[in-house]
Amino acid sequence: MHHTPESMSALRRVGDELADATVETLFERGEVGRFNTLMRYVSTVGQELPEGLPDVAHEYLRATAAPPSWVDWGEMERARLFFIDNNVHVSTALAFSAMPACYVIPHVARLLSATHGLEYPSRRMAETGQFTVYLMQPDAFEAGSRFVPAVQKVRLLHASIRYHMRREGLWDEEALGTPICQEDMIGGLMIFSIQVLDALHRLGVHMSAEGAASYFYAWRVVGEMLGISPGQAPADLEEARLFSDQYMTRYMGPSEEGARLTRQLIDLYEEVVPGTLLDPAVAALIRYLVGDTCADWLQVPRSAWDTAVKASPALLGVLETVEDRSPLGAWALDRLGHLTTHLELSSLTRGRVMQYAVPEQLRKEYGLTSTGSRSHRWVPPPPAFPS
Amino acid sequence: MSDPVLIAAGAADLVVEGVGTALRRAGALLGRSDLAALARDGREELRQRGSLALRRHAPTTESHLELLARRAASRGSGPGDV
């Protein structure tokens, strides 16, 4: 759907009717505690729902169990292949670019800051990582999958944040619109989809046009399952560029909350990086990906590493050449990639079990190496500034 | 660009050219007495190789967010400007 500033402003007044109504009823009837306790044990599709689950929750879980009817499964399969090919890079882009990009929208930073407190970045990063991993499982939408229940829970979580922010008067609805409104949900979708592709490009990762389009497509499916009204999200990368750029330029700027969340995020990553020698590289990579203006708004510290990190896409380019020309090099880089992703996620989730065997499984099942697609390179469209 | 980065890039580039050649060179090295000087030369060669390889792959674009942020800043957008 093509959006104008006016149509985007209209989206600020709209939340997520189904999830909001469910949460409101649960709170009204005092059934939230029971719901949470019972749902803790529901983590896979096809699992029998526990006895005693409130009716309204039953109804919500039934209504939200299916993916949108328009899903093209071939496209979803291509998205998975894209993810397999780029899993380390996608994780890096999510961690070092998408998270800070959320903080550069002051009202989003305010909401995140108000709802989660100190532990926030690590939890959200771990949850986002886990969410992406669940999505990229070959059976993400089938019986036994953890993805659909995760979506259903996140959607209710968002609704409960709306409920609390309003009730406790933590949100100036007159000025800021509905908390986690449709515009912010689509904006978030842009941050995790097209803006991740922008970051991959900045990292020097070569992408095929097909791969980039399918990665975006998968997030569009997720967006609708998370409560974005059908037909409201941009339909393709071209529309996404337009929405993303309009949304960001409308709101982006400095804020105290944004700077504080960024500090917490950097501290978290520095904990994950072994030793202290490489610590400044974390801030440098964030600065490289989001650019100096955003980095200054978020008070990302400067260091000598800023220059060194600029070489990373070039190094990546050299390494990709190695991968393409030498089977031994390809194997070594693949192992390195696997280890890096595993390290990132397991450190972030503090040792909780992560089902990270997906890519291996797909490669075995389909006998895929998918290196050929790199030749047709996708490059992000230039900025689409509103006139 | 700092030396370690250049040397790493040079080393990677060397792999591209073929480990075989390097191994043959290393074999020939064992019989020589001026190893220290050779090591210095080798390091210099890697540095130069790295510099060239990085130039070949260097990105030419700005961060997309940077372009947007400059635009937002010039329009006077800021916190609370919803």
Q: Where are the domains of chain B?
A: 3-76
Residue A28 inside a domain? The answer is yes
Cβ contacts of A315 on chain B, cutoff 8 Å: 5, 8-9, 12, 54, 57
Q: How far is B73 from chain A (nearest CA, A)?
A: 8
Lowest mean pLDDT among A34-38, A95-99, A298-302: A34-38
Most confident of the ranges A93-107, A261-275, A294-308, A369-383:
A93-107
Q: DSSP per residue over A127-186, as a string? A: HHHHHHHHHTSTTTTSTT-SHHHHHHHHHHHHHHHHHHHHHTT-S-HHHH-STT-HHHHH
Would the pLDDT of B2 be above 80? no
| Per-residue model confidence (pLDDT) at position A338 | 56
Reduce the DSSP state of residue A208 to 3 states and report it: strand
Asked whether residue A379 is assigned to any structural domain, the reply reads: no
Is the predicted pLDDT of residue A367 greater than 60, yes or no? no
Q: Is the pLDDT of residue B20 over 90?
A: no
| Residue A386 or residue A302, greater confidence | A302
Give the best residue of B55, B63, B67, B77 to mutate against chain A (max A CB count within 10 A): B63
Interchain pair A311, B5: CB under 8 A: yes
- Tell whether A355 is covered by a domain: no
A94-98, A183-187, A340-344: segment of lowest average pLDDT: A340-344
| Total domain count, chain A | 1
Q: Is residue A98 in some structural domain?
A: yes
For the residues A11-24, what does the mean pLDDT come to? 95
A218 within some domain: yes
**Token couple for B10:** 């040079």
| Cα–Cα dist A150/B49, whole Å | 49
Question: Could you tell me the end-to-end alpha-carbon distance of chain A, in angstroms, rounded to an integer?
Answer: 18
Q: What pLDDT does A60 receive?
A: 93
Look at residue B59 and tell me whether its pLDDT is greater than 60: no
Distance from CA of B32 to the nearest CA of A (A): 30
Instruction: Quote the minimal CA–CA distance from B53 to chain A in Å.
Output: 7
Whether A336 maps to a domain, the answer reads yes
Question: What's the confidence (pLDDT) of residue B41?
Answer: 79
Q: Which pLDDT value is given to residue A138? A: 79
- Residue A353, pLDDT > 50, answer no
Q: For residue A211, what are the CA distances in angstroms to A40, A83, A214, A215, A376?
A: 35, 9, 5, 6, 10
**A115: confidence class by pLDDT, cuts 50, 70, 90:** confident
Per-residue tokens: B7: 């040397």
Helices and strands in chain A: count of H runs, count of E runs = 21, 2
CA nearest neighbour of A19 among A157, A170, A189 = A157
Residues in A touching B72 (Cβ below 8 Å): 248-253
A171: in domain: yes
Report, as an integer, the average pLDDT of A294-319: 78
Contact A219, A226 (CB under 8 A): no
Residue A153: is its pLDDT beyond 50?
yes
| pLDDT band with cut points at 50, 70 and 90 for residue A107 | very high
Note whether B80 contacts A314, CB cutoff 8 Å.
Answer: no
Is residue A356 within 8 Å of residue A341, measured between CB atoms?
A: yes
pTM above 0.90, yes or no: no
Residue A221 lies in a domain: yes
Higher-pLDDT residue of A132 and A29 is A29
DSSP state for residue B25 in the 8-state scheme: H
Average pLDDT over residues A22-30: 91
pLDDT for position A301: 92
Q: Which domain holds residue A153?
A: 5-349
Q: How far apart are CA A197 and CA A372, in angstroms?
A: 19
Two tokens, residue B20:
């075989």
Q: Which residue of B has its CA nearest to A197?
A: B64
Token reading at A256? 């105290």
| Shortest distance, CA B36 to any CA of chain A (angstroms) | 28
